[in-house]
Chain A
Amino acid sequence: MTSKEPKLFANESSESDSLFKASLPFRYNLDKVFAIVTWAATLSGLIVLGILLIDILIDGFSRLDWSFITSYPSRRAASAGILSPLVGSIWILVVTALIAFPLGVGAGIYLEEYSNDNWFTRLVEINIANLAAVPSIIYGLLGLQVFVRWFQPITNGRSILSGALTLALLILPIIIIGTREALRTVPSSLRQAGFALGATRWQVIREHVFPLALPGILTGTILALSRAIGETAPLIVIGALTFITFLPSISPQGLQSPFTVLPIQIYDWVSRPQVEFHNNAASGIIVLMLLLLVMNATAIFLRNKFQKSR
């Protein structure tokens, strides 16, 4: 407390007070500076995102109507639509989820709840962490050799199944890591309480651990799927087409049909010289973003629903 400032308390001149220098105005200013800096950091991200959104909306909004969604791709920009890539994306998404969710969650449960800490599990853990960082095109090359070529009798080559298997591999590490983190948030005291009643490990996991971890697991899975839906490179490598004028049948045979997805269609349109196609691409991006928005909303909805039911 400097001597210029008025006294706050009657006994302020006592000796111990002279040892402290509050410099409150300076500390308050520093506080304000950091509030502004962090606010600016938040804002810069938002501004970039906002500009992107506005730009896309200006370019794409004019083309966005019901016929754009219900038409197949065409050589003429005006009549080209996004039906087959949209349906292809949804197919890929569903099949990828059906493959990746049980595998990823199963592996996560094993690593977190069952495995001992030995060299094997440590090796697996290091590899999973590394796999999450492998560029997606590498997964595409792997999928081309394994699913398109070796598994040709099952997958029928360049098919929805091949694409979904490849993307499932791609997001598996993310789901495993997400599952393990969700399981780790369940306090170990709850597991011990279950064991102390004579429950086996599986009974404890099924009844107490998994239900509590489920919102986190679902959120992680849907975020991983959001990444899968935006992936282009691995699907180009395994040979997704850009010109599909039919829809796969809703049957096991549908899994074996050729396909395209939204990012590939957008990529195809952007790389054409005509401006009309660029506007189509912008409209396609809006559709893709809406799909992502729906998925993220679902994630939030599921999380809240399961958390409330506790």
Chain B
Amino acid sequence: MKQDPINQPLSGQIKPPYSGYTSSKEAILQAEKVSVFYGSYLAVRDVFLDIETNKITAFIGPSGCGKSTLLRCFNRLNDLILGARVEGSIKFQGENLYDKKFDRKIEEVRRRIGMVFQKPTPFSKSIYENIAFGAKINGYQGDMDELVERSLRQAALWDEVKDKLKQSGLSLSGGQQQRLCIARAIAVQPDVILMDEPCSALDPISTLRIEDLLHELKEQYTIVIVTHNMQQASRVSDMTAFFNVEPTDKGGRMGYLVEYDRTEVIFQSPKEESTREYVSGRFG
């Protein structure tokens, strides 16, 4: 049966408005009826989504469909944007992150749910300090040298930088900078790593290195990756969520989740027409 999420009432019975939804006990992050507003402007509507532990979940969809916006709800980074408001609940290991009790513990949440951004953003400090910063501010008690080495090894960067840890993080190439950012995210030992188009500013070789890295990292971490690159989504991810965008009455654009399933289902036999058109490159 095909459902049109736009015609679903905003309130009322909570019903997952897309194909393939199954609530999973393995889920580490659970979005339930999540809507994101900027002021009175509705950016993303009624998302139900379970992110499974130790899997790579890809968010795909055309520009403006709210996939990055939704990603930033998982570590409450949208809190920093004036007027941004999230409705519904996002449960992390069963606890609603938007519960009041997390308002003054959000830094602890962000340590457990790390993030890597579209543009590499190394701090203007040494490579060593780039890694050590997150651990320091979160009161890491262990051996810092060992943590730096382990994080850089996990990010497949150690061999390239082990002799120049004192150099500025900005002296590295773009691909190395992005792996530094991944190492930095790993260093605070998160459970989840959110990645917002991590390869879109990189050349194909650097991109492949990071994709290889993702396969290794999912042994230990749950990864959510937003990407515009459909080949990338099909290469790296276990699960894929397709988002689409619809114009609203007020002239705005509103994103919603169309379909969420195992990656091979999304790419080979999607249930929705718009998904099939998007993954086959016919629009978007």
Say yes or no for A53: interface residue by CB 8 A criterion.
no
| Contact yes or no, A195 B124, CB < 8 A | no
- In the complex, the answer to whether A197 meets B185 with C-beta atoms within 8 Å is yes
Q: Are A189 and B117 closer than 8 Å at their CB atoms?
A: yes
Per-position binary interface string of chain B over residues 103-142, scored 1 when its CB falls under 8 Å from any chain A CB and 0 otherwise: 0000111110011010101011100000001100110000
Chain A binding site: helix, strand, loop or mixed by DSSP?
helix
Given contacts A190-B123, A193-B181, contact A198 B110 (CB under 8 A): yes
Note all chain B residues with C-beta closer than 8 A to A207.
Answer: 123, 125, 133, 137
Q: Does A208 contact B (CB under 8 A)?
A: yes
Pair A200/B115 contact, Cβ less than 8 Å: no
Minimum C-beta distance from A198 to chain B (A): 4
Tell me the number of A-to-B contacts counted with CB atoms below 8 Å. Answer: 67
A215 to chain B, nearest CB (A): 12
CB of A298 closer than 8 Å to a CB of B: no
A5 within 8 A of partner (CB)? no
For A117, A196, A200, which residue has the most chain B Cβ atoms within 10 angstroms? A196
CB within 8 Å of A: which B141-185 residues? 168, 170, 181, 184-185
Q: 0/1 per residue, A196-229, Cβ < 8 Å to B?
A: 1111100100011001100000000000000000
- The chain B residue sitting closest to A188, CB to CB, is B80
Residues from chain B with a CB closer than 8 A to the CB of A198 are: 107-111, 134, 137-138, 188
Q: Chain A residues near B80 (CB, 8 Å)?
A: 191-192, 195
Give the distance in Å from the alpha carbon of A191 to the alpha carbon of B110 in the complex: 14
CB of A149, distance to nearest CB on chain B (Å): 44
A116, CB-defined interface residue at 8 Å: yes
Q: Does B77 contact A (CB under 8 A)?
A: yes
Residues in B with CB closer than 8 Å to A190 are 121, 123
Does B1 count as interface, using CB distance less than 8 angstroms? Answer: no
Q: List B contacts of A187 (CB < 8 A).
A: 121
Assess the A193–B117 pair: CB atoms within 8 A. Answer: yes
Residue numbers of B with Cβ under 8 A of A are 75, 77, 80, 82, 107-111, 114-115, 117, 119, 121, 123-125, 133-134, 137-138, 168, 170, 181, 184-185, 188
Using a CB–CB cutoff of 8 Å, the interface residues on chain A facing chain B are 116-117, 187, 189-200, 203, 207-208, 211-212, 310
